[in-house]
Structures are given as C-alpha cells and as structure tokens.
Amino acid sequence: MTERQSKILEMVSRKQKVEVNTLSEVMGVSQVTIRKDLDALESIGLLTREHGCAVIRNIADIGNRLAIRYEIKYKIAKAAAALVSDGETVMIESGSSCALLAGLLAEEKKDVTIITNSAFIARHIRETSVGKVVLLGGEYQKESEVMVGPMVRICAREFYVDKFFMGTDGFIPEVGFTCGDMMRGEAMKNMAESAKRTMILTDSSKFSQHGVVLQARLDAIDTVFTDTGIPIEAKNILIENGIKVETAE
C-alpha cells in the first residue's frame, strides 16, 4: 500500500463517504490516479466504491475497521510478527491489527499454524502460504465475522500454545483492557486460558477509550504492541505491572 492510499483510507474512515474530486484536490493528483487507488483499496476489501465516491459502509465491519489507522496497525503487526518463529503454532483473536498480523505470518513465516476464532482472518489469508489455519467453532457474529459463545471455550481447550495475540477496544488504568462486547470478551478469556503468554495489539488511540466489558486484567498480559503515541501515564502503568511495551515507529 502506498502512502497516498493510506491517507485516502484515513480520510474516508473519518468522513464515511468522500467524493473522488475531493480526494483528488486534497491529495494533489488527478481523478484518474485517485480512481486507480480506490480500485486497489477496494480489491483488498478496505473500502467500497460508489458512483463518484469512496464509502465506508459499516464501521462495525471488520474490513472497515481495518482501514482506520491502517499504516500504524501494519507496523504494530510487523513488530508482533517478529516474535513468531517458523513452524510455530499461535492463537490469534479477531480484530483489525490481529488480521494484519495473521497476514504477515502467512506471507513471511514457514509452516506456521494459526488457531483463530475469526472467520475474517481465515478468509483474509486463504490464498497465502500459511501452513495451517484452525478455525474455532462457536456462534457466528456477522459484522465482526467472529466466533463466540461456549463452543469457543470447548474448542480452545483442545490446544495449548506459547503465544496468544488479541486486540482491545479500551483501557482502564490500574484495572486492565476492555472491549465493547460481552461475548467477544468471554471468548478472549477462554482463548487466553490455552496460552502461556497473552499479548495485546492496539494502536495508541485505544488508551483514551473505555469499553464496558473487562477483557483482561493487567496481571494476565505479557506484552503490549502499540505505537509511540501511547500516553506516558499508560505506558508507565503497564511497565509497573511487569508488562513489556513494544512501540512501533
């Protein structure tokens, strides 16, 4: 993805719908060039084309959340991918940064097995050279394309891995990480029980947000991958609680 395409994604994500001529003026390139960029972004599922416009249809959709702060999330995922070795089996929960991590592992690592509750991730990497994908069963949430419910716990119990990667929706100092959906939060707790180390992938904007469901207390987290925009107060709290903080430039 080019730098200009990344900026287009940011703009469309903020405004939900942007005309091609507006993008052309803001980016300083021709409408023909903008249309080519939009075609490229649509081909990988990051936005939708309508007549004369680029559109984010539903911000709750995982494909649309992937478009928000895409470049930063990619760098965060890249840092997390460096911890995974060829031939390793890892567990990855649903979420946009996690989807990018799964894509990187599938493209860059040999014989990696990915265990996930995300149908989106399984679909996202279906044409890459990943060794194996194991999709956990459960109740299917259509917009986020994720499996939740008691079946996730039953399926996850069949595995034990060294690393479990998950996203987050918010942060409460001195308490832990939160999400906005009770069933997704429960699924993450169930998957964490099957891993030696649990790691959070999140862009720094989430440290100023509060979800309504506690997904993980601080003592349950080994490492947080984020960007340099993390508030210093939040970073200090994480470090004080023995959590490694890896910041992507």
- Asked if pLDDT for residue 181 goes beyond 60, the answer is yes
- Asked if pLDDT for residue 228 goes beyond 80, the answer is yes
- pLDDT value for 61: 57
In sequence order, the β-bridge partners of residue 161 are: 195
Q: What is the pTM of this model?
A: 0.80
Q: Of 10, 44, 8, whose CA–CA distance to 27 is shortest?
A: 8
- pLDDT value for 18: 94
Q: For domain 72-248, which CATH number applies: 3.40.50.1360, 3.90.1150.10, 3.40.50.10480, 3.40.50.720?
A: 3.40.50.1360
CA atoms within 13 A on the CB side of 94: 30
Distance CA 139, CA 222 (A): 28
Cα→Cα distances 80→42, 102, 167, 177, Å: 26, 10, 12, 18
Question: Using 50, 70 and 90 to split pLDDT, how confident is the model at 64?
Answer: low
Share of the chain above pLDDT 70, in %: 93
- Asked if pLDDT for residue 26 goes beyond 90, the answer is yes
Fold equal for 3-57 and 72-248? no
**Tell me: the pLDDT tens digits for 91-100?**
999 888 999 9
- pLDDT value for 94: 86
Higher pLDDT pick, 92 / 46: 92
Annotated domain spans of the chain: 3-57, 72-248
- Asked if pLDDT for residue 13 goes beyond 80, the answer is no
Architecture of domain 3-57: Orthogonal Bundle (1.10)
- pLDDT value for 207: 95
Helix%, strand%, coil% for the chain, nearest 5: 40, 25, 35
